[in-house]
């Protein structure tokens, strides 16, 4: 009888073991924020969706300091957390703002396994991109409003299988006055998704601000994008292809909608830079009296939201 009970407990633990761990990494100045921990709307919704597919969610806390050294220290601690899980357990990392760059640094610190060419190789079809590659330490890295810097924070794609970068044109914090970019380009198995959503309440109507990108309606579908929705062949995701960036509209009452973007990430970045330059020129022309102040409104709508007049650090989370 005792042997039977022990066996049943072992079998139960084997069956109920999660297939994947999801690690949520907050951004700058957000170590004490509620959204990224139990009880927060984003966290609780993400955990609810994770549990539906036998996945577990854990919060990762770092200092949230503004410097590169703080991010490096956070990444070193994150590596230890990643390595504490069994190798066979899948790992999904989600980072908001500079939390994404903490993940990027962690991928640099996680050196490729020696003899990786001998690893068991698998094929995963997705859109028109079927690729053979070894098993990776990080199954998915998801960036939410992450300031992109391909020099200091380039993701190591020998560690990361897939990288999804979600950004918004209504986010005036991500680019940090032009020091960073919105989009990732020339990185294998990565794709950029521009986010719009219902009732964002922001200056750009459907384009959420930096902090609105971690609303619960994003968490509701985040784990289904893009593979599950692509396989279900619904809401435009049947058109998904890793060779194209896309736009995703999040609906509070339903499944998000996807539209492919015909422009490349590089073309989008060039357009963003042109928009920023036009805005700066408008500011200078207004100051010199060459154009009327009211004309600045149009340029303002194209590049920046009113939250920028509030100290940036209060939104940099």
pLDDT in tens, 174-183: 988 778 999 9
pLDDT at 283: 60
Q: Is the pLDDT of residue 213 over 60?
A: yes
- pLDDT tens digit string along 140-173? 999 999 999 999 999 999 999 999 999 999 998 9
Q: Is the pLDDT of residue 117 over 70?
A: no
Q: Is the pLDDT of residue 80 over 70?
A: yes
| Rounded Cα distance, 158 and 186, in Å | 14
- pLDDT tens digit string along 279-307? 556 666 666 665 555 554 544 444 444 33
pLDDT at 121: 41
- pLDDT tens digit string along 118-136? 333 434 444 444 444 456 8
Average the pLDDT over 61-67 and give the result: 96
pLDDT at 114: 42
pLDDT at 71: 97
Q: Is the pLDDT of residue 138 over 50?
A: yes
The residues facing 202 across adjacent strands are 205
What is the Cα 9 distance to its own chain's centre? 38
For residue 85, whether the previous peptide bond is cis, meaning omega lies within 30 degrees of 0, is no
| Rounded Cα distance, 48 and 42, in Å | 10
pLDDT at 15: 37
**pLDDT higher for 203 or 276?**
276
**pLDDT higher for 180 or 277?**
180
pLDDT over 90, % of the chain: 52
Q: Is the pLDDT of residue 270 over 70?
A: no
**pLDDT higher for 105 or 234?**
105
Average the pLDDT over 189-216 and give the result: 83
Nearest Cα to Cα of residue 191 among 221, 214, 157: 157
Q: Is the pLDDT of residue 217 over 70?
A: yes
Count of CB atoms within 10 A of residue 3's CB?
7
pLDDT at 278: 63
**pLDDT higher for 27 or 314?**
27
pLDDT at 182: 92
On whether the 19-264 domain is CATH 3.40.50.1820, my answer is yes
Report domain extents, the chain. Answer: 19-264
Contacts of 244 (CB under 8 A, 6+ apart): 191, 260, 261, 262
pLDDT at 242: 80
Average pLDDT of the residues of the chain: 79
pLDDT over 70, % of the chain: 67
Q: 201-206, long-range: CB within 8 Å, 24+ apart, which pairs?
A: 202/170, 202/305, 203/170, 203/301, 203/305, 203/306, 203/307, 204/168, 204/169, 204/170, 204/301, 204/305, 206/249
Average the pLDDT over 40-61 and give the result: 96
Q: Is the pLDDT of residue 17 over 60?
A: no
DSSP H helical ranges for 24-129: 41-52, 68-83, 98-109
User: Using CB atoms within 10 A of its CB, is residue 38 exposed (0-12), middle (13-18) or buried (19+)?
Assistant: exposed
Q: Is the pLDDT of residue 315 over 50?
A: no
């Amino acid at each position: 009888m005792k042997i039977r009970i022990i066996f049943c407990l072992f079998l139960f633990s084997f069956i109920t073991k999660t297939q994947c761990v999801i690690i949520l990494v907050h951004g700058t100045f957000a170590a004490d924020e509620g959204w990224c921990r139990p009880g927060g709307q984003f966290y609780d919704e993400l955990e609810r969706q994770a549990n539906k597919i036998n996945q577990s969610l854990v919060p990762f806390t770092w200092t949230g300091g503004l410097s590169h050294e703080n991010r490096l220290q956070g990444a070193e601690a994150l590596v230890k957390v990643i390595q504490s899980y069994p190798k066979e357990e899948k790992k999904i990392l989600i980072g908001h703002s500079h939390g994404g760059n903490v993940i990027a640094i962690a991928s640099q610190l996680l050196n490729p396994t020696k003899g990786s060419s001998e690893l068991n190789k698998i094929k995963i079809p997705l859109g028109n991109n079927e690729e053979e590659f070894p098993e990776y330490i990080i199954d998915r890295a998801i960036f939410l409003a992450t300031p992109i810097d391909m020099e200091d924070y380039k993701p190591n794609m020998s560690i990361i299988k897939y990288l999804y970068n979600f950004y918004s044109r209504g986010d005036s914090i991500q680019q940090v006055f032009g020091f960073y970019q919105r989009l990732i380009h020339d990185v294998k198995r990565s794709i950029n998704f521009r986010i719009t959503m219902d009732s964002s309440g922001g200056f750009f109507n459907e384009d959420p601000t930096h902090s609105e990108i971690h609303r619960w309606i994003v968490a509701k579908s985040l784990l289904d994008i893009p593979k599950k929705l692509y396989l279900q062949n619904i809401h435009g995701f049947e058109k998904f292809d890793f060779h194209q960036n896309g736009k995703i509209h999040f609906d509070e009452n339903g499944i998000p909608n996807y539209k492919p973007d015909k422009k490349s990430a590089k073309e989008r970045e060039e357009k963003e830079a042109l928009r920023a330059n036009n805005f700066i020129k408008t500011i200078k022309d207004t100051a010199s009296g060459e154009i009327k102040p009211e004309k600045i409104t149009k340029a303002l709508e194209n590049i920046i939201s009113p939250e920028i007049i509030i100290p940036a650090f209060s939104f940099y989370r």
